[in-house]
């Protein structure tokens, strides 16, 4: 019985030492400062994603007035394509996730040819500049 007590005491000692050595493991460090940031503090906003080129969008989208186009692109983290100040004849509807794809929804409001500037950014960190840009042409036709 005395030997069992010594073994249990040694195990407890090593467990306490391991806990003391690993107590800083639950923190991540911001690349801009050496201050520890708790994981519950929103680490997604503090560490930028690795630079992955944005998935390309089609160069042209054809619509009728009132019609909504749905353009899929692969989901990469929290990054999304969004219209950057869309022209008056175009509206961006709310995108949605379908499996591993994000569906970009653009609605044609008025007939015409529009150059739409798109930005590739992280909506969880709105202060970060866009990591990619693309201009697409949206052609909205009247119904026959």
Q: What is the mean pLDDT of residues 13-39?
A: 55
Q: What is the CATH number of domain 60-141?
A: 2.60.40.2020
The gap from C-alpha 133 to its chain's centroid, in whole angstroms, comes to 15
Tens of pLDDT, residues 51-96: 778 999 999 999 999 999 999 999 988 899 999 999 999 999 999 9
- Six-digit token pair at 86? 């869309």
Q: Give the global pTM.
A: 0.62
Instruction: Report the alpha-carbon distance of residue 121 to residue 74 in Å, rounded.
Output: 14
Query: Are residues 31 and 48 in contact, defined by beta-carbon separation less than 8 angstroms?
Result: yes
- Residue owning tokens 């054809």: 62
Find the DSSP H helices in the chain: 2-21, 43-46
Q: Which of 140, 117, 121 is nearest to 130 (CA)?
A: 121
Query: Looking at the predicted structure, is the pLDDT value of residue 129 above 80?
Result: yes
């Amino acid at each position: 019985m005395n030997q069992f007590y010594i073994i249990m005491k040694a195990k407890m000692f090593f467990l306490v030492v391991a806990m003391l050595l690993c107590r800083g493991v639950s923190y991540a460090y911001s690349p801009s400062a050496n201050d520890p940031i708790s994981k519950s503090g929103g680490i997604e906003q503090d560490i930028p994603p690795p630079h992955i080129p944005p998935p390309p969008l089609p160069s042209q989208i054809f619509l009728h007035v009132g019609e909504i186009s749905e353009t899929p692109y692969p989901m990469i983290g929290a990054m999304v394509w969004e219209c950057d100040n869309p022209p008056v004849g175009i509206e961006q509807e709310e995108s949605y996730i379908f499996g591993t794809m994000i569906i970009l929804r653009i609605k044609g409001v008025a007939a015409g040819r529009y150059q739409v500037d798109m930005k590739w950014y992280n909506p969880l960190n709105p202060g970060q500049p866009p990591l990619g840009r693309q201009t697409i042409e949206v052609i909205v036709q009247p119904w026959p």
